[in-house]
Amino acid sequence: MLRIGLDIGGTFIKGGMLDHELHILAEKTVAFPGAKRLDILPGVLEDLAVNLCRQAGKSLEVVQSIGVGVPGSLDPASERVLNAHNLGMTDYPLLALLQDQFPLQQVRLINDANAAALAEHRLGALRGCRTGLMITLGTGVGGGLILGGELFNGGMGQGVELGHMRLVHQGEDCTCGNRGCVEAYCSSAYFLRTGMEPLERVELARSGEPESMVIVDRYLDYLSDALASMIVLLDPEIIALGGGISKAGEFLFGPLRQLVDQKTFFRISPRIEGALLGNKAGFIGAALLGRD
């Protein structure tokens, strides 16, 4: 079985083709056309799929399924994108548009953090666990939940939006329109408010620059608060952290584990690990939809 996964982001769209053994046969990244050019998005996705087929020496006709990850909330039937703020999508009929573009394939949509969680559970840091969290720390904060050994998409099918749990009462504005969300304090937005990209700030802190050390310590305080709240609710075995900020590695993970140990109610804390699949997790998880 051949399957394609497409991971739509606010800047880039990542795509990959997987075979029946889940080997990556081809991968490619193209520019997202922008919120004001959504009319050409289905064609861009078709061109990307065709390019992947060409790389792998296959024709699109032999691909059985195409999964598409989107950074936003989907309706319970996973047919429409209700809100994807970074993409400019509101009540957007993406599934119907793609079914017209790919009439021979099974097409399915998934939230991008759910896709990453699915990929890490099958092939990465969450492999083998019955309860685990995949959290992406980047432009936003995405969250995917493995519950009972399966991806959990919410009781009413609306997803698991861990990045939009309330963290600070009447806090900073969030892209969702609310204030004080986890995303406002644990994404790159926190660092950008200090005038610097996350990894640039982390490198200064690593070098011992006092202001940056304070900024990073405050970030870890916010992130550990958020994780401690998730832990007492879900009691996960593993928390996998991905996204651009996670590339800081043990410089962040070491003190983060200590803070979580101090703050969590339970005597035994979950393992906190870096996600293993990197920026491939989104398209791998989307491609895996064709397996279920």
Element (H, E) at 131: strand 131-137
For residue 28, what is the enclosing H or E element?
strand 24-31
Any domain includes 205: yes
Q: What element of type H or E holds 201?
A: helix 198-206
253 and 145 in a common domain = yes
Sheet holding 24-31, edge to edge: 24-31, 12-18, 3-8, 65-70, 106-111
DSSP string of 38-86, one letter each residue: GGGHHHHHHHHHHHHHHHHT--GGG--EEEEEESSEE-TTS-SEEEEGG
Q: Are 177 and 255 contained in the same domain?
A: yes
Question: Residue 184 belongs to a domain with what CATH number?
Answer: 3.30.420.40
55 forms beta bridges with: none
136 and 227 part of one domain: yes
* 248 in the same domain as 132: yes
- CA dihedral 15→92→137→18, nearest 10 degrees, is -20
Is 196 in the same domain as 147?
yes
Q: What is the pLDDT of residue 291?
A: 56
Q: Which domain holds residue 51?
A: 3-115+280-291
The pTM assigned to this predicted structure is 0.91
- Tell whether 73 is covered by a domain: yes
Structural contact between residues 92 and 124, judged by C-beta atoms closer than 8 angstroms: no
Mean pLDDT by 10 residues, the chain (292 residues): 93 94 96 93 96 96 96 89 88 95 95 94 95 93 94 87 94 92 96 96 97 98 98 96 94 97 93 94 93 52
Residue 287's pLDDT is: 96
Total count of domains within the chain: 2
Please check whether residues 98 and 172 belong to one and the same domain.
no
Claim to verify: residue 209 and residue 236 sit in the same structural domain: yes
Structural domain contains residue 237: yes
Question: Contact 17/2 with Cβ under 8 angstroms?
Answer: yes
**Per-residue pLDDT at 140:** 87
Q: Is there a domain that residue 160 lies in?
A: yes
Q: Let me know: does 54 contact 25? Beta carbons within 8 Å.
A: no
Looking at the structure, tell me whether residues 154 and 27 fall in a common domain.
no
Both 96 and 71 in one domain: the answer is: yes
Whether 32 and 144 map to the same domain: the answer is: no
* Alpha carbon distances (Å) from 61 to 106, 219, 225, 287: 12, 48, 49, 16
What pLDDT shows up at residue 2?
95
Task: Match 């994780």 to its residue by tokens.
Answer: 227
Residues 192 and 170 occupy one common structural domain: yes
Task: Please give the pLDDT value at position 292.
Answer: 47
Residue 120 lies in a domain: no
* 247 Cβ contact partners less than 8 Å away, ≥ 6 residues apart: 199
Q: Is residue 122 part of a domain?
A: no
Residue 121 within a domain: no
User: Measured between alpha carbons, how far is 24 from 83 in angstroms, rounded to an integer?
Assistant: 30
Q: Quote the pLDDT of residue 173.
A: 95
Q: Are 28 and 60 found together in one domain?
A: yes
